[in-house]
């Protein structure tokens, strides 16, 4: 019997869904004794090394797991399930790993010796290139494909890794071991359960593979890849809300107004789960669901978005992000639900990341207030003193439990035109042709003001302040919308994107305004502020919903501009 170990963090539902889809039955490991019953074991998961090892020790799994591995029965580790095999990790110095492999896990660096910057975590689709051996007992599968990775720590590849390294991957100038295979142990740094058809094929091959004894290997060919970044991701976004009949529909607005002619019916672009399936089949690298009316009452109980996610995760095997309403909530019967619990419910339903909008704004405002109270007033949240960072925001709490990669912050800025940009917003100052009706093309200056409640309420911080504050408080990725460009088809606001990308070292998703395939190539060419690195992902909604541009057209345009994309699904 195949068993799956759930140590209590991350989205393990996706792995369960993949196994079900492939027709393999399995049991969850519910107690250490179950490990003695298992013929095959998968240990999936995300989260920190220390958190995983502590949970294994607390629940009595560490020793039985070592015994299981030593028994020679097949073990497959995914992401953190691979990293725990090592002796130790720079992520949590002093915490011992299972020690099956005598090497150390270290952090990626965000800048290399030539000054090139790259985002950490390494998030996206990268190639796993198998080393070539004279013989091998690994699953008979063609590994050389794109897989989905999300991690800040890596196992460096070195010659002494030859006996257990099976494939390597390059991120920027750093090469790491992306697949481990030694005897009965097989493990991947990437997530096969989130890697579309290639990932499902790999899982299936491992489960069907007849285990053979450990064979000593010798590498016959080992070619480094050179400087490589992941493929540029194309994200399909579904703005979801109830229509006037109370059904959940995908809608799409202009400048965040989703009703026809302002007051008419809520625009209905289709059913959320069906559309998500369509985009998965068409090759979307990721899918985001945003509950756009979450600023109203948003009880966790009876939350229809949970059911929706649950259904989508059963058939969509690329990363899913859910946004809207990730904050402390209270059910109508008075039951409180902290943001972490809300996020937890979404992860359990199949989300890989949660996206936080309004609450991130409030948390960064509070950070600046606390800096001022501590006598260290600043307009730059990245400069706030350590005592202002108290770990009490949803971003920090979700980060601590699930890791930075699970926390996306969605920024909803609008341009504020002015004669002089106020000094406190200098970081988000821009100038160029005016875009307002009646003043088009005239020279203008502006800054990017943050909003909450779907653009209904202006706040005093700007997009760059929010970006830097969110990164400080543990966000692992930013989604940059633009109220001015939303639904306009005029292209992404590349000035905004460039300002934000240059201000942080975490991955950035550009959103709002895509009107044709070339706009994707244009936004990925935005790299002035970053010393060469472009943004990592671009998102669109309207053009995909209306069948105006296919996801493959967007990818083709990016590929034609010289950047890598993932063309299979």
Residues involved in catalysis:
79, 191, 193, 239, 412
User: 240 or 314, CB closer to ligand 1PR?
Assistant: 240
Helix (H) or strand (E) holding 187: strand 185-188
Report the distance separating Cα 59 and Cα 61, nearest Å. 6
User: 161 or 238, CB closer to ligand 1PR?
Assistant: 238
Judged by CB under 6 A, the stretch of 36-44, 109-117, 211-219, 252-260 that binds ligand 1PR is 252-260
Q: By CB under 6 A, what part of segment 358-397 binds ligand 1PR? A: 358-359
Task: Quote the DSSP letter at residue 18.
Answer: H
Are 382 and 389 within 8 A, CB to CB? Answer: no
What are the backbone angles phi and psi of residue 229, rounded to the nearest 5°?
A: -115, 160
User: 234 or 429, CB closer to ligand 1PR?
Assistant: 234
Q: Which residues contact 88 (CB under 8 A, 6 or more apart)?
A: 95, 96, 97, 104, 105
Structure-block tokens of residue 537: 């992902």
Task: Quote the DSSP letter at residue 141.
Answer: S
Report the distance separating Cα 473 and Cα 381, nearest Å. 9
Is 494 among the residues that bind ligand 1PR (CB under 6 A)? no
Judged by CB under 6 A, the stretch of 290-298, 343-351, 365-373, 387-395 that binds ligand 1PR is 290-298
Q: By CB under 6 A, what part of segment 306-365 binds ligand 1PR? A: 323-326, 355-359
B/e letters for 225-245, b = 16+ CB within 10 Å, e = fewer, are: eeebbbbbbbbbbbbbbeeee
For helices 463-472 and 494-503, what crossing angle results, to 10°?
30
Is 290 among the residues that bind ligand 1PR (CB under 6 A)? yes
**Interface with ligand 1PR (CB under 6 A), residue from 26, 68, 190, 256:** 256
Q: Which residue has the tokens 């994309």?
A: 565
Structure-block tokens of residue 297: 């009452």
**Interface with ligand 1PR (CB under 6 A), residue from 21, 295, 383, 434:** 295
Judged by CB under 6 A, the stretch of 42-50, 224-232, 510-518, 526-534 that binds ligand 1PR is 510-518
Is 511 among the residues that bind ligand 1PR (CB under 6 A)? yes
User: 79 or 464, CB closer to ligand 1PR?
Assistant: 464
Task: Quote the DSSP letter at residue 430.
Answer: E
Give how many residues touch ligand 1PR by CB under 6 A. 33
Is 513 among the residues that bind ligand 1PR (CB under 6 A)? yes
Are 321 and 351 within 8 A, CB to CB? Answer: yes
**Interface with ligand 1PR (CB under 6 A), residue from 486, 493, 498, 522:** 486
Shortest Å, Cβ 456 to ligand 1PR: 8
Report the distance separating Cα 178 and Cα 110, nearest Å. 19
User: 65 or 326, CB closer to ligand 1PR?
Assistant: 326
Q: By CB under 6 A, what part of segment 450-479 binds ligand 1PR? A: 452, 454
Question: Which residues would be at the binding site for ligand 1PR (CB under 6 A)?
Answer: 237, 239, 252-253, 256, 258, 290, 292, 294-295, 323-326, 355-359, 410, 412, 452, 454, 481, 486-487, 511-514, 540-542
């Amino acid at each position: 019997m195949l068993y799956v170990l759930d140590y209590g963090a991350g989205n393990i539902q996706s792995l369960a869904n993949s196994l079900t889809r492939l027709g393999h039955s399995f049991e969850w490991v519910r107690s250490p004794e179950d490990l003695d019953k298992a013929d095959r074991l998968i240990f999936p998961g995300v989260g920190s090394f220390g958190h995983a090892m502590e949970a294994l020790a607390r629940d009595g799994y560490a020793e039985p797991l070592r015994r299981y591995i030593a028994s020679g029965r097949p073990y497959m580790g995914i992401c953190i399930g691979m990293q725990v095999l090592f002796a130790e990790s720079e992520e949590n110095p002093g915490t011992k790993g299972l020690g099956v492999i005598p090497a150390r896990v270290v952090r990626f660096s965000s800048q290399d010796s030539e000054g090139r910057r790259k985002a950490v975590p390494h998030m996206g689709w990268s190639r796993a290139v198998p080393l070539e051996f004279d013989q091998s007992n690994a699953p008979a599968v063609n590994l050389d494909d794109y897989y989905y990775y999300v991690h800040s720590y890596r196992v460096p590849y070195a010659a002494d890794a030859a006996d257990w390294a099976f494939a390597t991957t390059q991120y920027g100038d750093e090469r790491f071991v992306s697949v481990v295979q030694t005897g009965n142990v097989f493990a991947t740094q990437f997530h096969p359960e989130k890697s579309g058809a290639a990932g499902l094929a790999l899982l299936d091959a491992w489960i069907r593979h007849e285990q053979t004894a450990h064979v000593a290997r010798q590498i016959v060919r080992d070619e480094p890849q050179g400087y490589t970044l992941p493929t540029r991701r194309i994200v399909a976004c579904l703005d979801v809300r109830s229509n006037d009949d109370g059904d959940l529909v995908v809608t799409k607005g202009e400048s965040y107004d989703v009703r026809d002619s302002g007051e008419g019916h809520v625009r209905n672009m289709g059913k959320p789960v069906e559309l998500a399936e369509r985009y998965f089949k068409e090759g979307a690298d990721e899918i985001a669901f945003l509950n756009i009316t979450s600023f109203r009452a948003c009880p966790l109980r009876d939350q229809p978005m949970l059911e929706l996610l649950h259904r989508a995760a059963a058939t969509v095997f690329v990363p899913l992000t859910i946004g809207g309403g990730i904050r402390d909530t209270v059910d109508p019967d008075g039951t409180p639900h902290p943001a972490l619990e809300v996020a937890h419910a979404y992860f359990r339903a199949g989300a890989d990341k949660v996206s936080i909008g309004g609450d991130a704004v409030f948390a960064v405002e509070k950070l600046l207030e606390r800096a001022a109270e501590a006598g260290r007033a600043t307009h730059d949240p990245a400069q706030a003193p350590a005592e202002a960072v108290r770990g009490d925001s949803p971003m920090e709490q979700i980060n601590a439990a699930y890791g930075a990669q699970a926390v996306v912050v969605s920024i909803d800025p609008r341009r504020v035109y002015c004669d002089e940009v106020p000094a406190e917003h200098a970081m988000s100052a821009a100038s160029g042709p005016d875009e307002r009706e009646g003043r088009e093309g005239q020279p203008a200056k502006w800054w990017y003001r943050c909003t909450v409640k779907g653009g209904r309420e202006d706040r005093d911080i700007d997009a760059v302040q929010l970006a830097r504050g969110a990164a400080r408080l543990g966000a692992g990725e930013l989604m940059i919308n633009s109220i001015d460009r939303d639904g306009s088809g005029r292209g992404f606001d590349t000035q905004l994107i460039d300002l934000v990308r240059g201000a942080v070292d975490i991955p950035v998703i550009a959103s709002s305004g895509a009107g044709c395939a070339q706009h994707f190539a244009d936004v990925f060419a935005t790299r002035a502020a970053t010393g060469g690195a472009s943004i990592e992902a671009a998102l669109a909604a309207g053009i995909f919903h209306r069948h105006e541009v296919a996801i493959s057209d967007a990818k083709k345009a990016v590929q034609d501009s010289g950047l890598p994309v993932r063309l299979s699904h």
